[in-house]
Homo-oligomer: A and B are copies of this chain.
Amino acid sequence: MKMTDSDFAFWMGDVQARMEAALARLLPAASLVPARLHEAMRYAVLEGGKRVRPMLCFAAGELTGAAQGRLEIAAAAVELVHAYSLVHDDLPCMDDDVLRRGKRTVHVEYDEATALLVGDALHSLAFQLLAEHRLAEDAALQLEMVRTLAQAAGSRGMAGGQQIDLAATGKQLSVAELEFMHIHKTGSLIGAAVKLGALCGGECPRELERFAHRIGLAFQVVDDVLDAEASTATLGKTAGKDSKQGKPTYVSAMSLADARALAEELRGEAQAALQGLGARARRLGELADFIVLRKF
């Protein structure tokens, strides 16, 4: 059964609204001591972002029949890790950015020390959520979620990807080297979002690993294409910034047209990975389309 675009748009809006409510509920209240930290944590996470990782988590959970309540927690944990990485990434010693999701970055709105602690506290909170709510029938499966997220965030995943990114600034990388960087920097957390969503309903089918790998790369390729094309107003973050900072991008490593073609190829491979999974993989397929065809 092929659904209409408006059905998918409705689903996306529903997941985004659910996530906003879940995150608002799961983050410590701004009135709790230390209030400045909690206020800044909420500022960093709420009212921002497309929530792509939560959407992947929910779509993967649909495949395994996971309960929505569990998916909210798992998706929140992944989104908190993503949010922490953005806060740290925006700091002066990293990308030194002043605009994120259309708002002033945390260290500009508050101060650098608070931004550092906001990132650290969001990072801890992600694991606290995975441990203090019941997300699986079997506690061992839930430990597997903790392991998956920790590994994806760590030195062999996202943080490692950031380090590779630092070292790559000012250099021209090959497409293979770019791919290696982004598999760590973006791909690992996207893979964790998919896996955690599936685990909320039981086992994670093997095919999802290949799907997540392709979609993680496609996400970054499209980001580079949009960054090269778009204006700051549309993106909600400083546009054309990566290439200005001398960061290698798919657009600089190939051409704009080739990068667009690569994104399309990866979308095809992601869809192919879903072939054997039946009708319940529909949302994942729609999301793959959305991620590659988005204009922002």
With A155-B37, A155-B121 in contact, is A150–B163 under 8 Å at CB?
no
User: Do A125 and B154 touch across chains, with their CB atoms under 8 A apart?
Assistant: yes
Instruction: Please report the C-alpha to C-alpha distance between residue A160 and residue B32 in the assembled complex, in whole angstroms.
Output: 10
User: Do A163 and B127 touch across chains, with their CB atoms under 8 A apart?
Assistant: no
Q: Determine if A7 is an interface residue (Cβ-Cβ < 8 Å).
A: no
Number of chain A interface residues as a range: 35 or more
The number of times this chain is found in the oligomer is 2
With A94-B113, A112-B93 in contact, is A153–B140 under 8 Å at CB?
no
Q: Determine if A278 is an interface residue (Cβ-Cβ < 8 Å).
A: no
Instruction: Please report the C-alpha to C-alpha distance between residue A162 and residue B117 in the assembled complex, in whole angstroms.
Output: 8
Q: Which residues, 188 to 245 on A, are CB-close (under 8 Å) to B?
A: none
Instruction: Please report the C-alpha to C-alpha distance between residue A163 and residue B111 in the assembled complex, in whole angstroms.
Output: 11
User: Do A154 and B121 touch across chains, with their CB atoms under 8 A apart?
Assistant: yes
Q: Determine if A59 is an interface residue (Cβ-Cβ < 8 Å).
A: no
User: Do B160 and A131 touch across chains, with their CB atoms under 8 A apart?
Assistant: no
Q: Determine if A138 is an interface residue (Cβ-Cβ < 8 Å).
A: yes
Instruction: Please report the C-alpha to C-alpha distance between residue A121 and residue B150 in the assembled complex, in whole angstroms.
Output: 9
Instruction: Please report the C-alpha to C-alpha distance between residue A114 and residue B139 in the assembled complex, in whole angstroms.
Output: 35
Binds B, one of A47-55, A141-149, A259-267: A141-149
